Amino acid sequence: MATEDTLTGIPNRRAWDERLTVEARRAIRSGEPLLVAMVDLDGLKWVNDTQGHAADDRLLRASAAGWSGAIRDTDFVARLGGDEFAVLLPNCTDVDAEVVIERMQRAMTEGQRFSVGVASWDGAEPLPSLIARADQALYEDKARGRAGTPSTR
């Protein structure tokens, strides 16, 4: 089965699920931290409604390309669907994650912003729970209107 998102050219949800499992196993063996960031483009519906689907697609592609160049070599970014992306941050502290997220924000074009939520894995929590905590932190970031400032859970 395909593991690449056809619109953006970055890994898709299937690839994300596979890589998350691999990195979780690695984190258990090494004892190194593992963080997950959930990212959501802000105002994508507005772009779509006012500028059309082509502009929406351009923004998704530009964001994915910019983020791919902004993350560390060990990190992994994937498009989960729509305007939702996830970033896997192996061997990464909260401070390191803030640096990566700031680089991602600087990679955005035309003043576009995103909301983000970060969760740190303890090595025992079920992975769906980790993702849920990062997703909850994302929605808290959106609610505060502090797009691009990581909320950590």
Expressed in percent and rounded to 5, the helix, strand and coil fractions of the chain are 50, 20, 30
Tracing tokens 């983020």 back to the chain, one arrives at 67
The active-site residue out of 83, 96, 122, 141 is 83
Locate 30 and state its tokens.
Answer: 């090494």
Residues, the chain: 153
83 is catalytic: yes
Tracing tokens 């995103």 back to the chain, one arrives at 114
What is the maximum span of the chain, computed from C-alpha positions, in angstroms? 49
Known catalytic residues are 83
